[in-house]
Amino acid sequence: MHKGESLYLRFTADMHYEIKRTMVKRLLQNHLIMSAFYKGISGISLFVSIPMLIQYLGDSAYGLWILVFTLFQWVLLLDFGLASVLKTKIPELKLEGKTSLINAYIRFTYAFTAKLAVFIFAMLIMLLSVLDVTTLFNIPFTSQFVWQIFAINIMFFCLNFILNTHKSLYVSVFRGKYAEQSLAVNQIFFLLSVGIALLFPFESIEDRLYLISFLSGSICLLVNVLYTVHLFRTENISLKTSETVPPDFLRNIYKLGLKYMIIQTGILFLFSSDSYILAYFYSPKDIVPYEVVSKYFQFPMLILMAGMAPLWSMFSQKYLEANRSWLLRSFRNFNLAFLGLLLGIAVFTLIAPQVMQLWVGEAIAIPQMLIVVTAIMTALRIFTLFYSYFFNGIGKLKSYLILLVVSVLLKLPLSYLFIKLNYGLSSVVIASALCLLLWSVVQPIDAYRTVKTL
């Protein structure tokens, strides 16, 4: 080989290496893609942990854990919409150049969230002491144990409720991948801890539930602390600021936050109350098949949700800039991409029985109708989620609130109707799907009309 050829080949190799390194760097910087990647890791970890938890706890105890963990989701979203306001207001403050106000706003959010966490803890403990949840949800354990297991988890949930603010902050500064990364790290360490617990199981089912509660709460707490510290250091956020949030700004925050709180509570009721509704009519053991199917379809949905999550702040910024062409193009691109998503969901539905048999075994009978209606509901939820992010991002929530209120009012009567018509576990899913069908018609029309008025 001639010397010139050798230099040329070396130069070409170096160029290829630089191109690859640049592509990798851009990929890592793309928060939409990396958010989806980390959510995928979270989903896989959750996917693997479910059969391990069923094996470790048994059907009845796992059913109780579902009810406890659902309460965790409720607690995390009862923040009066402040976390959602962060994702909308911080991009707005940055665009207006009010950087000094950002630290004051963040400090206010943490202070308010801490007070709210104390209130929620006291309220839920009092509610547990008054209500007989053991009888209400047909739980096959003693009332004292059920009270204790809920109380332990409520304590952890309220602590994480405060520290969970970092996820919204990461999204607000266009670094959403770190919010999803923290969830992935949390899920991975919880999965590993469950694997270790399987090697050294307690004889008592009650002791196993105590252990799982402690592992879940403490691991989440540690991860939230570490990622909060990382955020504060990398973004130069300081809670030691002499500036205060102006009263007019606070009034706007409360007004917008109240709307977000209504939305969060409504969304939570629509999609996270199913376990409680089914436990009331059946038992915690009977809701395990619903939980398996729900988590199966949650896997692709969570990945897409993570990928779309940064759009919230992007929609806020582009709307403030009156970038009409970007917004309309994003609508068109999503609508086209959704056709491909439908094909993916169809394939996911066809292979579901075989995957679930390998996943949780043959001991848990999965109704075919439950699989089909959950697939339909998942598709509708993904479609409406995109437009929900748009309305949340721009802070125009009137039509969104109307749809939500109507859906909340319809959810229980429809669920009760389908249960009485013997649709079983599919009843609550059918009720949610019918509500989302209305959303999928109204939201796109309203979104296009809103953008065209810019």
The count of C-alpha atoms lying within 13 angstroms of the C-alpha of 37, restricted to the half-sphere facing its C-beta, is 11
Q: What's residue 66's pLDDT?
A: 84
Q: Are residues 219 and 189 in contact, defined by beta-carbon separation less than 8 angstroms?
A: yes
**Model confidence at 11, in pLDDT bands (50, 70, 90)?**
very low
Condensed to tens digits (0 to 9), the pLDDT of residues 62-97 reads: 888 888 877 665 555 555 556 667 766 777 777 777
Of 69, 36, 70, 50, which Cα lies nearest the Cα of 300? 36
Of 72, 84, 269, 296, which Cα lies nearest the Cα of 186? 72
Residue 314, pLDDT > 70, answer yes
* Distances, alpha carbon 277 to alpha carbons 130, 231, 409, 426, in Å: 20, 39, 15, 12
How many percent of the chain have pLDDT more than 70?
86
* Distances, alpha carbon 63 to alpha carbons 50, 113, 245, 340, 357, in Å: 11, 30, 45, 35, 19
Q: How many CB atoms lie within 10 A of CB 190?
A: 21
Q: What contacts 222, CB < 8 A, 6 or more positions away?
A: none
Residue 8, pLDDT > 50, answer no
Q: Are residues 392 and 260 in contact, defined by beta-carbon separation less than 8 angstroms?
A: yes
Tokens of 339: 């056709």
pTM: 0.68
Of 396, 131, 121, 152, which Cα lies nearest the Cα of 276? 131
Residue 382, pLDDT > 80, answer yes
* Distances, alpha carbon 14 to alpha carbons 3, 11, 17, 20, 376, in Å: 16, 5, 5, 10, 50
Q: Are residues 54 and 195 in contact, defined by beta-carbon separation less than 8 angstroms?
A: no
Q: What contacts 74, CB < 8 A, 6 or more positions away?
A: 268, 272
- Domain regions of the chain by residue span: 3-452
Condensed to tens digits (0 to 9), the pLDDT of residues 317-368 reads: 888 888 899 999 999 999 999 998 899 999 999 999 998 888 887 777 889 9
Q: What contacts 408, CB < 8 A, 6 or more positions away?
A: 266, 269, 270
Considering only CA atoms, give the Rg of the chain.
Answer: 24
**Model confidence at 12, in pLDDT bands (50, 70, 90)?**
very low
Phi/psi region, residue 422 (left: phi>0; alpha: psi -120 to 50; beta: rest), is left
Condensed to tens digits (0 to 9), the pLDDT of residues 202-227 reads: 889 999 999 999 999 999 999 999 99
Q: What's residue 431's pLDDT?
A: 94
Distance CA 336, CA 317 (A): 23
Place of tokens 């008592």: 204
**Model confidence at 28, in pLDDT bands (50, 70, 90)?**
very low
The per-residue pLDDT of the chain, averaged, comes to 82
